[in-house]
Amino acid sequence: MSKPTTPRTGIWLVGARGGLATTAIVGTLATTRGLCEAHGMFTETQDADGIGVPPLDSLVFGGHEIRSGSLWDAALEIYRETGVLRHDFLLELRDDIDAVDENIRPGTVLASGQRITSFADDVVEVANGREAVARIRADLAAFRERHDLDAIIVANVSSTEPSIEPSEATHDLAAFEAALEQPDCGGLRASSLYTYAALQEGCPFVNFTPSPAALVPALRDLADSRGLPYMGNDGKTGETLVKSALAPMFRYRNLNVMSWQGYNLLGDRDGEVLADPENRESKVRSKDEVIPGILGYPVHTHVGIDYVPSLHDQKTAWDFIHFRGFLDVKMSLQFIWQGIDSILAAPVLLDLVRFAELARRRGESGSMTHLASYFKSPLDTPEHDLHYQFHALIDYVRACRDEARTSGEAKKPSTTKRRP
Amino acid sequence: MSKPTTPRTGIWLVGARGGLATTAIVGTLATTRGLCEAHGMFTETQDADGIGVPPLDSLVFGGHEIRSGSLWDAALEIYRETGVLRHDFLLELRDDIDAVDENIRPGTVLASGQRITSFADDVVEVANGREAVARIRADLAAFRERHDLDAIIVANVSSTEPSIEPSEATHDLAAFEAALEQPDCGGLRASSLYTYAALQEGCPFVNFTPSPAALVPALRDLADSRGLPYMGNDGKTGETLVKSALAPMFRYRNLNVMSWQGYNLLGDRDGEVLADPENRESKVRSKDEVIPGILGYPVHTHVGIDYVPSLHDQKTAWDFIHFRGFLDVKMSLQFIWQGIDSILAAPVLLDLVRFAELARRRGESGSMTHLASYFKSPLDTPEHDLHYQFHALIDYVRACRDEARTSGEAKKPSTTKRRP
Amino acid sequence: MSKPTTPRTGIWLVGARGGLATTAIVGTLATTRGLCEAHGMFTETQDADGIGVPPLDSLVFGGHEIRSGSLWDAALEIYRETGVLRHDFLLELRDDIDAVDENIRPGTVLASGQRITSFADDVVEVANGREAVARIRADLAAFRERHDLDAIIVANVSSTEPSIEPSEATHDLAAFEAALEQPDCGGLRASSLYTYAALQEGCPFVNFTPSPAALVPALRDLADSRGLPYMGNDGKTGETLVKSALAPMFRYRNLNVMSWQGYNLLGDRDGEVLADPENRESKVRSKDEVIPGILGYPVHTHVGIDYVPSLHDQKTAWDFIHFRGFLDVKMSLQFIWQGIDSILAAPVLLDLVRFAELARRRGESGSMTHLASYFKSPLDTPEHDLHYQFHALIDYVRACRDEARTSGEAKKPSTTKRRP
Amino acid sequence: MSKPTTPRTGIWLVGARGGLATTAIVGTLATTRGLCEAHGMFTETQDADGIGVPPLDSLVFGGHEIRSGSLWDAALEIYRETGVLRHDFLLELRDDIDAVDENIRPGTVLASGQRITSFADDVVEVANGREAVARIRADLAAFRERHDLDAIIVANVSSTEPSIEPSEATHDLAAFEAALEQPDCGGLRASSLYTYAALQEGCPFVNFTPSPAALVPALRDLADSRGLPYMGNDGKTGETLVKSALAPMFRYRNLNVMSWQGYNLLGDRDGEVLADPENRESKVRSKDEVIPGILGYPVHTHVGIDYVPSLHDQKTAWDFIHFRGFLDVKMSLQFIWQGIDSILAAPVLLDLVRFAELARRRGESGSMTHLASYFKSPLDTPEHDLHYQFHALIDYVRACRDEARTSGEAKKPSTTKRRP
């Protein structure tokens, strides 16, 4: 018996029947079946050709979910609400969707906060964090086994959690592990448990959410000691993406931005979770640091997130930018962004897990700062300017391609950030 | 008698009482008097510190104009129409404005096209291009003499001319000079005469307009042979600036732009001139090449320019960008740009003439491609991506600063483009 | 065997597999099946309760079409392009859709102009207008017979034709009938033939398109002599609707509108037809008379219609309104209208044919000016103010309801306009 | 000695050096001097011709103010901030402006709330409400005397106060007067004192602000018993005006509005006051009742008011309207309103005080419901539809004109609302 020539990569999604995960799974199936183009993924462009990320059709999906119901129902609900998962595609992909559903396991809501817990109706009851971690690890191991996977990348795509208070448990691995013994995990959050389990199973980790608990210092130390790559936080997919593309223009021209007001309207579960001030805080902080970060001076900014149920995830954002030019004359730029959050986020998620697998294969560990362009609050880099961030990605990609050409995959590019 | 320690630089503007020139002149006076901040000029930022451009208060303005009236009246008219030149500032600057007016001379409309000629009421009657050139050169020489100028930079800020047909005269200097003998200049345009005169007087040249006649190959050859720096075409100050800042974002994320529709409303003399299809052609072509140039594939684009008299130069532009992402789902981005053209263009013009003088002092000649970010159709570079363009400028600036620190101004930066 | 208690009303659509007709048919089926709410139709509100329009489920659809293919395919194409006809609905309604398709007959393109003829691939070859009319009348008679219809309302929902030159044939019925004998119909257009045939068959007529040929004076005389109600022209469903709702506000407040610029982007067959200047002329004229008509003074207006294929019929319109207030200060209002043309037009069409049948039952004839609010160029009224127009409709509806309550349907409301 | 033929009408403004009052005063001066057109005032249109409102040049301005400084400085500050009071106009009107300033007296902040009191630096110290009222009445009497005024109209144009709790003092005149004896006015607010004093001096009263304390039931009873006309609350001048013009369109077409989100950005003192939640409450409530009131069903609405200092009173508002049509398809309309609050409000204020004087001359008393179109929360009418409101005004105006023609001013129009 010979192994298949293309190694198969597992993609384990925490929040596996949420809008983003469902869209990523269905979209991957539709794209590999040729039902649609491969738009949205940088990894599918000529610019990223030949660098060695795993092909789309080598990805196997699974994950954890805290709500009952099937992946098929989740997909159908998206069709009904916004139509972005086409009904004719779904009918054609039904068997494949059901097959993925068999890889989805009940998750944990230990320490997720009131709002998220109120959604959950399919969770594993556990006595403490250690038990929860054990279940998660067992699920990952079974997934690897069942599908004969070369590797598993774990990505957190669940709802935004409340903030986490810094403590010994968040900063020291031994204290972290001690906290797992407590019924309330000693101030840790559910996302901390998933990351811990993933790393202990040897899986690279991507935090697509703003939830800060997923990558506390103790967990980053664990990743380093295990030699695993990881990155976060908070996928940059919509209004903030546009902001970080536009703001540099004002700097180039010495146009003084007096006010940058941003209003985000959205109506899906994400919007409902963010309607809770406790959960919104993580998000707004993440969105609000971009403009002053790029311009280099304090700006009167406002980031509003309002829940408009009729929109579902058809995000509509209005930004009003008031600036001063020559002779102190005031002028303005407004933009209106009408994007489907899941449609924008899903291919970014796919880019990220594919880059994470590439990093793993290349033996890189630590924070993957070359992926900063994908995040609202990228780790280990103060740079918010989308263009500098992207040029860094291009440098990385070129280095990968050069090495792939010369020596297989022997050397690592010098631009990759590694924590000491 | 000792010369002043700071050398004085003449700025000669073709179209000296137009909205842009008037704004640049009044704005420079107001800024050096401390009436307003120095916004809008990159040369006034920390990023450009210590590179050796001439200080604002060392600039002396003059120029040619084909319409009668005073600079004071031109300034007052701008106050009345849009208020951007403040009435209280004007009252305070009246003497200085009148002093500049004494440096303004009647221009020529030889071969300017019907539309522009219809505005002219203060022109020098000449028998042919050679006579026109002689008058222009005499005006420049007298300006230099009167103000004891170290150098003069000539910039074309007049109305957009009709296109020019390629011919021997546009490509060969001898043929060009022969054409000057003809009463209609043999197909050349007024802007060709100004550039020729400027170069013959040893002046660096900036073509801020889209008028292609200003920098035909024959004239670029002349600049090279005289060792003079120059750059064009068409200042990038408004809607196109935003376009070139935003378009790369779609490329980064592999978001497929299906349509990019842009509508520009404006109502000043510029708008009136562009209402003439003959003149508009140069402009639209210049604006329309940006998007496909950045994205690398053909896009359904439209660039509309409509004359709305009530707006004067308070340009309002609406861009609608229709793009496709993951699963072929369509989404959109719109922006509304409300900028005052002259207020945006004037500081760019000042940046350009100051960089041109810096290049002259550094002994550079040929097209200043490091200034590409300032132009809609930059010479000698296919790059329309604002960020690549600006990063090139930053490289140049750093090289200048490094040299200024080490050796005074001995060496030239390696990034500067020189024609062979 | 007894006749059904509810009389059945035939709705005959010229352009029966076009986007508007297909949407109206599928939407009626879906609404009567309870798949969706009855939004969009004033006739389904409490305000119109009890006035005696035919119920939705008593309508039987048929029509003429010049393009081959099935109604099912037309519906599926709309699903694929914009998703507004839901795929799950279509699957459920398939039999009903196919049943309507059996009522659709090949149409005529006699004198339709070059652009429309280029689409046609399923037309009846005829020697002249008289033959075409005979075929149309036979189709109507067969429809009535087959479905045992109480009445048929004919509505023109085909593509916009080029303008028609006034002539004896357009103004005199005898000359009109003589022109029918000629192979090119003597300057008449296809829509003239449909209206003539409809009236001769005793059918009320609604011209939903701007095509002026459908209701030339000779045909209006015929309607009067036959005692038939009719109305047109050009359904007011999108940007113009908003305009006519907003413009009165400026009059109330004596805010002086200096410029009203409107830009319409659309990409369906309608947009393609309107990309032809010959066809666009009818449309733009119809849209452009609204603002000065409401405000009572000349305004700098612009109505742009641009073909953006990627939009299909997801019309996006941007209007920029520049106005002056107290102290001559300039201000602006902009609106962005994102409506689906067919989704907005279909319920208006259903309102109109139901009101036309009500008028027939009430014995009214001539132009139904109480329906002016539904048209961009309403016949026999100079009023463009949406609110006056709607208040007139409310007056009519009240009169109908009052009469229905007192005497069955004996009297006619005094507000109904009748031509002498 | 004979009295002048045109009687002079005093206009007493509470908040006399605020942005609105200053603009109204300067604008009236500029208009009567012929420096600008009379835009913005319905009373200056043909529609309002011949009804007998006092001519602009018969108005004499005075008022109360709690901040120190001169009217000239207030006008100059507006010029500096937004330019809407032109500097050249101000220079020409300086003497007239200074003359009005002599009619401005220190006001009272008794019970105005913390935020407003923090602005005040020029107030009369009084022991209780009775003393404050006595001072206000004395100021009014002196104003009448000094300028030989036929009548005085008092209008409240001061900053929005916090809400007022219903109590015996707000509902019963005797209890009201008893409360005046207390040092804190027993829960009344400063605006209550101004209204009380105005009515006791026989002055019609207009509450241009949302402050509910200005027209509590006890004060309305007093007006009725004194036979005086009055109206409020909260001038409808900007975003809400547009809302009330647009919302009816959705009702006409049975387009189901799911969400109406409105965001108001402004940066003047008004904005600063509204940044205080206590004061904002009155305003938002007033703005938020419009949409459900017009549509007749509950709608997910949001009214945001954000303080953006750089805008001063160049209000920018974005409204996003999400609606459903035929087949439940979702569509949207957005509008962007860029109006100068004071420039929109000043002519409305002038309309109102002129209509109030007309009502006084005609012997009308009670709430002037024919002026409902001018208010966000019109008294004694549930109607928010701008068009019904305006048609009622037109009816009133016609009745006035008819009577003026037939009998001088003998009869009163039947459409005028009077409280029993």
Task: Count Cβ neighbours within 10 Å for each residue of A302-335 and write b for 16 or more, e otherwise.
Answer: bbbbbbbebbbbbbbbbbbbbbbbbbbbbbbbbb
Cα–Cα dist C326/D25, whole Å:
12
State the pLDDT at residue B142.
Answer: 98
Cα–Cα dist C256/D386, whole Å:
18
Q: D83 and B86 in contact by Cβ < 8 A?
A: yes
State the pLDDT at residue A405.
Answer: 83
| Beta pairing class for C151-156 and C205-207 | parallel
- Which distant-in-sequence residues (6+ apart) come within 8 Å of A277 by Cβ? none
CA distance A308 to chain D (A): 7
Cα–Cα dist C167/C243, whole Å:
33
Which residue among B31, B329, B337 places its CB closest to the CB of A340? B329
Residue of D nearest to A256 (CA): D310
State the pLDDT at residue D330.
Answer: 97
- CATH 3.30.360.10 spans which residues of chain B? 239-338
pLDDT band at residue D116 using 50, 70 and 90 as cut-offs: confident
| Beta pairing class for B314-324 and B330-340 | antiparallel
CB B286 within 8 A of CB B210: yes
Which of D47, D253, D290, D337 to mutate against chain C (most C CBs within 10 Å)? D253
State the pLDDT at residue B290.
Answer: 87
State the pLDDT at residue D415.
Answer: 39
When the pLDDT of each residue in chain B is averaged and rounded to a whole number, the result is 91
Beta bridge partners of B301: B260
Helix, strand, coil percentages for chain C (3-state, nearest 5): 50, 20, 35
For residue A34, the chain B residues in CB contact (below 8 A) are none
pLDDT band at residue B330 using 50, 70 and 90 as cut-offs: very high
pLDDT at D66 over 50: yes
Q: B304 and C263 in contact by Cβ < 8 A?
A: yes
CA distance A338 to chain C (A): 11
| Beta pairing class for A366-367 and C205-207 | unpaired
B350, C242, C254, D243, D296 from C386: Cα distances, Å: 52, 9, 18, 15, 19
Cα–Cα dist C221/C215, whole Å:
10
Q: D310 and A300 in contact by Cβ < 8 A?
A: yes
Which of D302, D303, D329, D338 to mutate against chain A (most A CBs within 10 Å)? D302
CA distance B87 to chain D (A): 6
CB D230 within 8 A of CB D208: no
Single-letter residue type at A253? R
D380 three-class SS: coil
pLDDT at D83 over 80: yes
| Beta pairing class for C205-207 and C229-231 | parallel
- Which distant-in-sequence residues (6+ apart) come within 8 Å of C77 by Cβ? none
Q: Show the CA angle centred on residue B319, arms to residues B318 and B321, nearest 5°.
A: 155
Tokens coding B198: 């400027």
State the pLDDT at residue D414.
Answer: 40
Q: What are the residues of chain C with a beta carbon less than 8 Å away from any beta carbon of chain A?
A: 79, 83, 86-88, 336
Tokens coding A233: 């936080």
CA distance B20 to chain A (A): 12
pLDDT band at residue B229 using 50, 70 and 90 as cut-offs: very high
- CATH 3.40.50.720 spans which residues of chain B? 9-234+343-407
**Into which CATH architecture does domain D239-339 fall?**
2-Layer Sandwich (3.30)
Superfamily grouping for domain A9-234+343-407: NAD(P)-binding Rossmann-like Domain (3.40.50.720)
For residue C309, the chain B residues in CB contact (below 8 A) are 258-259, 300
Residue of A nearest to D324 (CA): A310
More confident: A39 or D278:
A39
Sheet with strand A366-367: strands edge to edge? A104-106, A59-65, A9-14, A151-156, A205-207, A229-231, A366-367
Look-up of token digits 């590694």 = A418
pLDDT at B288 over 80: no
D34 membership: H or E segment, kind and range: none
Subunits next to C (3 or more Cβ pairs <8 Å) are: A, B, D
Q: D40 and C326 in contact by Cβ < 8 A?
A: yes
Helix-helix angle B217-226:B190-200, to 10 degrees: 10
pLDDT tens digit string along D89-110? 999 999 999 999 999 999 987 7
- Which distant-in-sequence residues (6+ apart) come within 8 Å of B55 by Cβ? B6
Q: D83 and B88 in contact by Cβ < 8 A?
A: no
C366 three-class SS: strand
Task: Report DSSP state, residue D376.
Answer: S
Sheet with strand A330-340: strands edge to edge? A300-307, A256-266, A314-324, A330-340, B330-340, B314-324, B256-266, B300-307
Which of A255, A297, A299, A302 to mutate against chain D (most D CBs within 10 Å)? A302
For residue B79, the chain D residues in CB contact (below 8 A) are 88
pLDDT at D194 over 60: yes
For residue D35, the chain B residues in CB contact (below 8 A) are none
State the pLDDT at residue C286.
Answer: 64
The CATH number assigned to the domain with range B239-338 reads: 3.30.360.10
Query: How would you write the pLDDT of chain C (420 residues) with one tens digit per residue?
Result: 454 468 999 999 999 999 999 999 999 999 999 999 999 999 999 999 989 999 999 999 999 999 999 999 999 999 999 999 999 999 999 999 999 999 999 998 777 777 777 778 877 788 899 999 999 999 999 999 999 999 999 999 998 888 889 999 999 999 999 999 998 888 899 999 999 999 999 999 999 999 999 999 999 999 999 999 999 999 999 899 999 999 999 999 999 999 999 999 998 777 777 777 776 776 676 667 789 989 999 999 998 889 999 999 899 999 999 999 999 999 999 999 999 999 999 999 999 999 999 999 999 999 999 999 999 999 999 899 999 999 999 999 999 999 888 865 444 444 333 333
Q: Is the peptide bond before C264 cis (omega within 30 degrees of 0)?
A: no
pLDDT band at residue B414 using 50, 70 and 90 as cut-offs: very low
Which of D76, D87, D338 to mutate against chain B (most B CBs within 10 Å)? D87
Subunits next to D (3 or more Cβ pairs <8 Å) are: A, B, C
Single-letter residue type at B80? R
Cα–Cα dist B307/B183, whole Å:
33
- Residue pairs spanning A and B at CB distance below 8 A: 173
Look-up of token digits 């954000």 = D306
Cα–Cα dist B66/B111, whole Å:
13
Task: Count Cβ neighbours within 10 Å for each residue of D9-30 and write b for 16 or more, e otherwise.
Answer: bbbbbbbbbbbbbbbbbbbbbb
- Which distant-in-sequence residues (6+ apart) come within 8 Å of A33 by Cβ? A92, A93
CA distance B88 to chain D (A): 7
State the pLDDT at residue D175.
Answer: 96
Query: How would you write the pLDDT of chain A (420 residues) with one tens digit per residue?
Result: 454 468 999 999 999 999 999 999 999 999 999 999 999 999 999 999 989 999 999 999 999 999 999 999 999 999 999 999 999 999 999 999 999 999 999 998 777 777 777 778 877 788 899 999 999 999 999 999 999 999 999 999 998 888 889 999 999 999 999 999 998 888 899 999 999 999 999 999 999 999 999 999 999 999 999 999 999 999 999 899 999 999 999 999 999 999 999 999 998 777 777 777 776 776 676 667 789 989 999 999 998 889 999 999 899 999 999 999 999 999 999 999 999 999 999 999 999 999 999 999 999 999 999 999 999 999 999 899 999 999 999 999 999 999 888 865 444 444 333 333
Single-letter residue type at D333? L
Task: Report DSSP state, residue C238.
Answer: S
CA distance A126 to chain B (A): 38
pLDDT tens digit string along B367-412? 999 999 999 999 999 899 999 999 999 999 999 999 888 865 444 4
Task: Report DSSP state, residue D253.
Answer: T
Which residue among C304, C316, C322 places its CB closest to the CB of B308? C322
Q: D86 and B87 in contact by Cβ < 8 A?
A: yes
- CATH 3.30.360.10 spans which residues of chain D? 239-339
